[in-house]
Structure 1
Amino acid sequence: MIGFRTSIPQSPSIRSRKSSTTSPASAINEGALVRRHSGQALRTLDDVREQVAREIAVHAITKAQQQDGVRIGVRLIMPNNDNEDFVQQVAASLQHQLLLHEHLFAVATTAQSTKAPAYSTLLICGSSQDYVQRAVLLASSKFIGRIITASNEGKMWVATVMDLGTYFYDEDALWDVVRKAARAPMDPLLPPPGAKGIDEILAEARAKLQRISPAQALEELRESQVGAPTFLVDIRPQEQREREGGIGGALIIERNVLEWRFDPRCASRLAIADRYDLRIIIFCQEGYTSSLAAYSLQQIGLLNTTDIIGGYEAWKNAGLPIDIDHRGSRSLASLAGSLV
């Protein structure tokens, strides 16, 4: 038995369901006993429930589809007074009959009424924990805000879901969950056509730049004969600046807003970003993110943008001026921050 019990409100009005929805109650005589012919032993209601669960499982397997060699299926059934127990009976029958096959199934009761709240039991079971866990993550996204409680035991996951079946897309959503969860994993060494690794992207970006050393950057900043305005830009996150220190006088603009602050066409640009011949020298902590950022500004049209080889680490190791408490940097940070 999976970890929790669900008390499900019952409604006197039962909504009609799609043809794929099965009612266990319709196949069970609600009397206490059913007598067999010729004086044979009496069958209890539990016997009948077990038979109905097996029949539902057989029907689900008959209607199953294939996804990368995995049998997948979705079965919606009408609720009864013991939803979780009956759904688990169906799941147990499914797993017994598919013992030697890769499989992933979703079995659920449907809400009885459109009047909120209405609760249903959803069970996902499979031949491997990987299938089930992938399905659980997908289902959690599909039914966001509607999963009330959940319990997980390896190859079986049970949840209480609000208003399951009252939305026209719920059954399709469950099919999408099991179909995508059963897909064969992609080989990480076989990327899709046209995809590039980060090392290749970085190399292509740097091929467009004339990168400079920390000493060259300092020399440019001190040069009075350069016609274009020159700015040193620190794109590191605040936590890193506070931990590592900074360079006094650097303009602090974090990476996530860099393009918006320097694009002369953008309403959120800095006041100084009013021309395309700006000389922008970007640095990060070690000189990787800065190369991608510099290339991004070049694509906007700021062709004089470059970055510092080795980043802040190389600047500091070269013995160039740094500001450990970065009080000077903070004054420029307020200029950029006021536009965020």
Structure 2
Amino acid sequence: MSSTGSKTTSYGELTDSGPNRMSAPASETRRWVSEPPRRTLDDVRQQAAQSVAIQAIQEAEDVDGSKVGVVITLSRSSGERFLKLIAESISQVLQSKRFLFAVAAPSAVPQEPCPFLFCGSSETFVERAGLLINSKFLSRIIDSVHISRGMWVGSARGLTETSYDELAFWDVVRKSVRNDIDPLVPPPGSRSVQQLLIAARARLERVTPQRAYAELHDTTTPWPIILVDIRPEFQRRVEGIIQGALIVERNMLEWRFDPRCTERYALADRYDLRILVIDQDGTTSSLAAASLHDLGMLNATDIIGGYVGWREIGLPSQIGPSVPQLARG
């Protein structure tokens, strides 16, 4: 019984204790009588899994019209295969209903990785559960795989060594099946990302890739001009780079270009600095440039179409030597 009042089903996996021994027929006259088929270990495991599944369903909670439950096997030798048999049995019984169950095996040795899984009636349920359990089991998840058809399988160190793990599983399954909040009824004062993007662009004089390239080569402007690439490293590695662009990932942009910040670049010591922000497709860059306006960098803007637009019109990928970082002032 869970400390929260919820029932957690526990059941041991049967292990092979050797073949059943049957006595020989008493006489030759009985040899014609056919013996009943012997049950295999797989048959026994399947029956045990079905029993666990039925008990778990009987003890499940109802959350927003969905059945939720947690199964902790008693046997510390229960492997992923047995957990999947339980999950499949639950799915068969509840195939026409909404549900989400956590099924786990306890660790036999402290900090030993042990399997667990989520099985549910929808991909959304199991995906939510997989994301939430990673946050609950920080630094403990060893492996995780989102298997199709409503199953998410993982392993974690020290599973169920404390009562916290059972509480965490219950918390995850309950929260993962809650009905969606109506996106058309947002909290007062909130704005969608599309509204934020429109508002940001209303403050900018955005430039085309051709215009940006021309500005970067213009030697007559009274202010310094710099091209800033805010794409993450993995995207630059896959998609390509513009040699000569200053690489500043998005999370550091304001700190590097606020003239009042001690972490700023030496170049960012004036408010008329012309900053041309580029991202992959020209969306995040608009929000970033608007944030620079909030700092007082009113000469900042972004490039329409981003790196994709730059590359599509055949602009060179090399403007000058690569400048991944500058000295800070």
Structure 1 pair 178/261, CA: closer, same or farther in 2 (3 Å)? same
Q: Distance in 2 between matches of 1:218 and 1:82?
A: 66
1:124 has 2:118 as partner: yes
Paired residues, what number?
292
Task: State the AA in 2 paired with 1:167.
Answer: T
The Cα shift of 1:338 comes to: 4.2
The Cα shift of 1:180 comes to: 3.6
Structure 1 pair 120/308, CA: closer, same or farther in 2 (3 Å)? closer
Task: State the AA in 1 paired with 2:121.
Answer: S
Structure 1 pair 150/161, CA: closer, same or farther in 2 (3 Å)? farther
1:337 has 2:317 as partner: no
- Asked whether the equivalents of residues 9 and 52 of structure 2 are also in contact (C-alpha less than 8 Å), the reply is no
Q: Distance in 2 between matches of 1:222 and 1:210?
A: 21
Structure 1 pair 151/200, CA: closer, same or farther in 2 (3 Å)? closer
The Cα shift of 1:298 comes to: 2.0
Q: Which residue of 2 aligns with 1:6?
A: none
1:234 has 2:223 as partner: no
1:79 has 2:75 as partner: yes
Q: Which residue of 1 aligns with 2:65?
A: 69
- Secondary structure, in 3 states, of the residue corresponding to 1:330? coil
Q: Percent identity?
A: 37
Matches within 5 A, 1:221-300: 230-236=223-229, 252=246, 254=248, 256=250, 257-276=252-271, 278-282=272-276, 284=278, 291-300=286-295
- Of 156, 167, 171, 2:166 maps to 171
Matches within 5 A, 1:95-134: 95-114=91-110, 116-117=111-112, 120-134=114-128
Measured against aligned partners, the alpha-carbon deviations of 1:215-251 in whole angstroms (never above 9, x if no partner) come to 9x859x6558x6xxx12121235959x96868xxx87
Q: Distance in 1 between matches of 2:206 and 2:276?
A: 10
Q: Which residue of 2 aligns with 1:22?
A: 10
Structure 1 pair 265/50, CA: closer, same or farther in 2 (3 Å)? same
Q: Distance in 2 between matches of 1:51 and 1:316?
A: 61
- Secondary structure, in 3 states, of the residue corresponding to 1:22? strand
Q: Which residue of 1 aligns with 2:196?
A: 201
Structure 1 pair 49/262, CA: closer, same or farther in 2 (3 Å)? closer
Structure 1 pair 314/173, CA: closer, same or farther in 2 (3 Å)? closer
Structure 1 pair 44/150, CA: closer, same or farther in 2 (3 Å)? same
Q: What is the CA RMSD across the aligned residues, in angstroms?
A: 5.2
Measured against aligned partners, the alpha-carbon deviations of 1:12-61 in whole angstroms (never above 9, x if no partner) come to xxxxx9784635489xxxxx79xxxxxxx9x9998998777566444423
Task: State the AA in 1 paired with 2:255.
Answer: W
Structure 2 length normalisation: TM-score?
A: 0.62
- Give the stretch that moved more between structures: 74-83 or 101-110: 74-83
Structure 1 length normalisation: TM-score?
A: 0.61
The Cα shift of 1:183 comes to: 3.5
Measured against aligned partners, the alpha-carbon deviations of 1:60-106 in whole angstroms (never above 9, x if no partner) come to 23332223321011122311655556545644553454344322212
- Secondary structure, in 3 states, of the residue corresponding to 2:191? coil
Q: Distance in 2 between matches of 1:264 and 1:289?
A: 22
Q: Distance in 1 between matches of 2:289 and 2:220?
A: 21
Structure 1 unpaired stretches of 5+: 1-16, 27-31, 34-40
Structure 2 unpaired stretches of 5+: 15-19, 22-35
